[in-house]
Amino acid sequence: MILTTRLQPFLEHWRAGQKLVVLTAYNVWQSELVEDSGADMILVGDSLGNVEQGRGSTSGVTLEHMMYHTRMAARGRKIIPIVADLPLHSYDSPGDAVESSKLLVSCGADAVKFEGNPKGIAKAILEAGIPVMGHLGLLPQTAESFQVRGKQDTEAKAIDSDARELAKAGCFSLILECVPLRLGESVTQGLGIPTIGIGAGPHTSGQVLVFHDLLHLNSHRKAKFVPDRFAAIGEAIKGALGDFGREVRSGVYPSDKESYH
């Protein structure tokens, strides 16, 4: 297992029995907020295709997009680790995967993440000295439908097998997305590395959510695993913007106090 200095506390917290907290961030202010909140890790996810670019999927996100947003997030980060997603087609071969990973690391990533268990990819990146996080279950880059994975025994066994292979290869952690809670629990047990769930139930080693989803900054239909009980910042923002418009139109803003003399 390859670890950078920033990644070591992440594993230490897991070994101490603490639940791990991971949040996405795509720019300076988001990464500052995530770190100041006490999270254990920042994920610069290719989910930026959905929440930053307004795409219907992550498949159109390029390596250049990921490099840009990784660089921006790294500017707001002080000490916690950043994991950056390898976007679709940036790891079609082991050679491509290594070169893409090196570019993301040069932009400030401490590790990279890819989806599935393509042959030879984890091994090549790790041999290049770059830490790797896996991602199993629902694979948004190639999914034709966004449904729970692993309900059937055959698919569940394949996910479990891939998890064991990625852990054995030397991945330091694994994301499990949209799987039944019992599968999330069984994969986590005895894996030897922490699992981070997103729609994978309460028994994983930690949880990750997309920044925009957690704060209800999106207008699209939210997933089942996104809670309602946290601050709906999106509604507060819309309210503030509306108040600004009303004050401008009514002449209340700017007041004498808000003017220069």
* Average pLDDT over the chain, rounded to an integer: 96
pLDDT band at residue 116 under the 50/70/90 scheme: very high
Average pLDDT on 80-99 reads 98
Residue pair 108/83 in contact (Cβ under 8 Å)? The answer is: no
pLDDT greater than 90 at residue 210? yes
223 pLDDT tier (thresholds 50, 70, 90):
confident
Average pLDDT of the residues in 104-109:
98
The predicted structure's pLDDT at residue 30:
98
**What are 160's two structure tokens?**
């479990």
Give the pLDDT confidence score for residue 245 in this predicted structure. Answer: 98
List CB contacts of 230: < 8 A, sequence separation 6 or more.
214, 215, 216
Token pair 């509306």 is found at 242
Mean pLDDT value across residues 56-66 = 96
- Catalytic pick among 35, 177, 247, 258: 177
Give tens-digit pLDDT for 230-257.
888 999 999 999 999 999 999 999 999 9
Instruction: Report pLDDT for 230.
Output: 87
Assess whether 247 carries a catalytic annotation.
no
- Sign of the torsion formed by the C-alpha atoms of 42, 44, 49 and 52: positive
List beta partners, residue 42: 23, 82
d(CA 186, CA 137): 13
Element (H, E) at 167: helix 153-169
Question: Which of 228, 234, 126 lies closest to 172 in space, CA to CA?
Answer: 126
Domain boundaries for CATH 3.20.20.60 within the chain: 8-228
Backbone region of residue 236 per phi and psi (left: phi > 0; alpha: psi in -120 to 50; beta: other values) = alpha
87: which DSSP letter? P
**Confidence label for 4 from pLDDT (cuts 50, 70 and 90):** confident
Report whether pLDDT(151) > 90.
yes
- Considering the domain 8-228 in this protein, what is its CATH number? 3.20.20.60
Rounded to an integer, the average pLDDT of 29-49 is 98
- Summarised one tens digit per residue, pLDDT across range 117-133 is 999 999 999 999 999 99
The pLDDT assigned to 42 comes to 98
Q: Left, alpha or beta for 214 (phi > 0: left; psi -120 to 50: alpha)? A: alpha
Distances (CA, A) of 224 to 127, 176, 189, 219, 221: 38, 15, 24, 15, 9
Strand pairing report for 195-198 and 20-24: unpaired
- Determine the 3-state secondary structure of 197 from DSSP: strand
**How much is the pLDDT for 222?**
77
Helices then strands, each counted (H, E), the chain: 10, 8
